Structure 1
């Protein structure tokens, strides 16, 4: 049974290339991907996670205002009773020159994983498999069954 993940670009950001690449890579890796597209609200992420029984929510942002767009996101997920992995990635802060500081900020906000814009999708997928306790065999099995 494929594992379902929610993917989208949060807030007012309209950059679509990153999530298109991620959608293709995640689908090829055997995940069921629900792509919410761009300019997605926090509530839309939560609603989709609930509706699809998702195990992970992947938030993308490239315009540098992710902190503002993600503020309170985990409070919303908690209030909806959602226990999902949360990943965020992209160009998360305007003038971002120390990514480790940015990573720490988002970890403190509750995100399980934080990626910069240069992260290879395969690295994020490997982390997702580890975080979901999927073995390579299970991942390959999911790919064959889908």
Structure 2
């Protein structure tokens, strides 16, 4: 069984094609995908991540209002003791002229990776495999080994 990934379109956005394609790519790569569909609230993302013990939460937004929709999401995830990898992708801001600025904003909001609407699903899958593998192979820092 693969890692569980929560996937959905946040806020009032009803664009479903992107997450459907991404769900297929993630499933083919061996992930267990919980697709929340469109018009998903922050609370629904957090509840699903908590219930499924998710390794990742992937948020999609194509209607340009992702900043207002995502504010507070990471605080809610932290309150639920959820340390999932978080990605966001799509057309994240209306009149998005400067991608570096948009990416920086969403990194500041807490997302581990930020993708534009032109990103191919294989790139997302590859990044997720690397990020999740890195989390499971990092040495635990709270253990001390003393050799005498």
Q: TM-score, normalised by structure 2?
A: 0.89
Match of 2:142 in 1: none
Match of 2:59 in 1: 59
Rounded to whole Å, the distance in 2 between the matches of 1:72 and 1:16 is: 23
Number of paired residues?
134
Match of 2:143 in 1: none
Rounded to whole Å, the distance in 2 between the matches of 1:74 and 1:26 is: 23
Match of 1:28 in 2: 28
Rounded to whole Å, the distance in 2 between the matches of 1:49 and 1:75 is: 13
Single out whichever of 61-70 and 125-134 deviates more from structure 2: 125-134
Q: Which runs of 5+ in 1 are unaligned?
A: 135-146
Tell me by how many angstroms 1:97 deviates: 1.2
CA deviations on 1:49-99 (whole Å, 9 max, x unpaired) are: 111111000000000000000001101101111111000000000000111
Q: Which runs of 5+ in 2 are unaligned?
A: 135-148
Rounded to whole Å, the distance in 2 between the matches of 1:31 and 1:52 is: 13
Match of 1:101 in 2: 101
Partner SS for 1:133? helix
Q: TM-score, normalised by structure 1?
A: 0.90
Structure of higher CA gyration radius:
2
Match of 1:129 in 2: 129
Rounded to whole Å, the distance in 1 between the matches of 2:31 and 2:79 is: 26
Rounded to whole Å, the distance in 1 between the matches of 2:53 and 2:71 is: 23
Larger RCO: 1 or 2 (CA < 8 Å, sep 6+): 1
Mapping of 1:1-146 within 5 angstroms? Answer: 1-133=1-133
Partner SS for 1:78? helix
